[in-house]
Amino acid sequence: MPQNITRVVVTGAAGFIGSNIVRGLNARGIEQIIAVDDMTQGDKFRNLVDLKIADYMDRDEFYARFADGDFGKVEAVFHEGACSDTMEQDGRYMMANNYTLSNQLFNACQQRGTRLLYASSAATYGGSATFREEPPFERPLNVYGYSKLLFDQRIRLECGLDFKRAKRQVVGFRYFNVYGPHEQHKDRMASVAFHQFHQFRNEGRVKLFGDYGGYAGGAQSRDFVFVDDVVAVNLWFFDHPEQSGIFNLGTGRAQPFNDVALSVVNALRARDAESALTLQQAVSLGLIEYIPFPDALRGKYQSYTQADLSSLRATGCEHEFADVQSGVTQYVNWLAAQD
């Protein structure tokens, strides 16, 4: 392979964020991509079918072969592969997937001179009211959040808090609530926008949790980030190999679930040439409905998240993020086009 051709690896490449990163790399003309995934859920192939990759590798084969140098010079690994089911209770399975394999990959990247850009999660903050990349605010509420935090802690230990001990670039992205195209395989873990689109199509209404945690129905707020913005920030760091660290990747804006629901309703109404509604109007017409908060989520639910972008902005990354109204509208139109 010519020396000027960039070869990269994307783990979780058939998944939601992974496939969008492959798409972003393709848009730059990068096609020497080794796509790594577990295709047990066979319909995930749909996320790769229109993409250009050099090779596909099963997850169970990849990590050992990469450590052995079987793929030659690899510039960077975008590590998106993980168990992302926040309701998964099998701690051994979670730790094996999200911590042990990530450790192996980090060690191999450092040994082979490969840059590592990996998916962490805002679930590391859990019950915290402050979302800044510092240990005092890291309080995961489930084993998923802990598995992500433990790997972040390992990276800090190996690279130093200033990351100056890293031999090559290492970047962890604490994703907040990501939504957008190509998440259909995630089932219950797909975004609220995805589920609300199908609820409205099938039932003519959107259901939201009622009052919980001191918040009125639908007023619980999250930092919802469009997947195109996630890809853009990943690629910004790919362009800036001198930047390492652990960074929040959200919009820096907390918006209520009501905003997502209303955006879904109004985007679908616009497709039928119907006028936009206010929240009060949508509720009074029965288009948005509040249901009791489920007992299974009590004590395990983040009612409020908002990324502190101070560290991200300090790197010079000035990417402008879509708000819920514009991002969800784009997404709803994409979903409708697929139907």
| Span 62-86, pLDDT tens digits | 999 999 999 999 999 999 998 777 7
Amino acid making up residue 257? F
pLDDT value, residue 4: 55
Tokens of 61: 């084969």
User: Mind listing the pLDDT tens digit for each residue in 260-276?
Assistant: 999 999 999 999 999 99
Q: Is the pLDDT of residue 2 over 50?
A: no
CA distance 288 to 281: 9
Contacts for 148 with CB less than 8 Å, ≥ 6 apart? 82, 98, 120, 121, 123, 124, 140
The string of pLDDT tens digits covering residues 126-162 is 989 999 999 999 999 899 999 999 999 999 999 999 9
Q: Crossing angle of helices 227-239/16-27, nearest 10°?
A: 60
Asked if 192 and 179 count as a contact pair (C-beta separation under 8 A), the reply is yes
Find out whether 248 and 307 touch, Cβ atoms under 8 Å: yes
**Of 121 and 187, which is predicted with more confidence?**
121
Given this model, what pLDDT does residue 91 score? 86
Q: What percent of the chain has pLDDT over 70?
A: 99
Given 63, 99, 125, 144, which residue is catalytic? 144
Q: Which of 186, 207, 290, 304 is catalytic?
A: 186
CB proximity list for 267: less than 8 A, separation 6 or greater: 328, 329, 332, 333
Answer yes or no: 144 catalytic.
Answer: yes
**Strands (DSSP E) along 189-286, which ranges?**
206-209, 221-222, 224-226, 245-249, 255-256
CA–CA gap between residue 41 and residue 322 (Å, rounded): 31
Which of 121, 100, 215 is closest to 175 using CA atoms? 121
Residue 3 confidence (pLDDT): 44
Name the pLDDT band for 296 (thresholds 50, 70, 90): confident
Q: Which residues fall within 8 angstroms of residue 156, CB to CB, at 6 or more apart? A: 246
Would you place residue 238 in the very low, low, confident or very high pLDDT band (cuts 50, 70, 90)?
very high
Kindly tell me the burial class for residue 98, based on how many C-beta atoms sit within 10 Å of its own C-beta (0-12, 13-18, 19 or more). Answer: buried
Inform me whether the pLDDT recorded for 300 exceeds 80. no
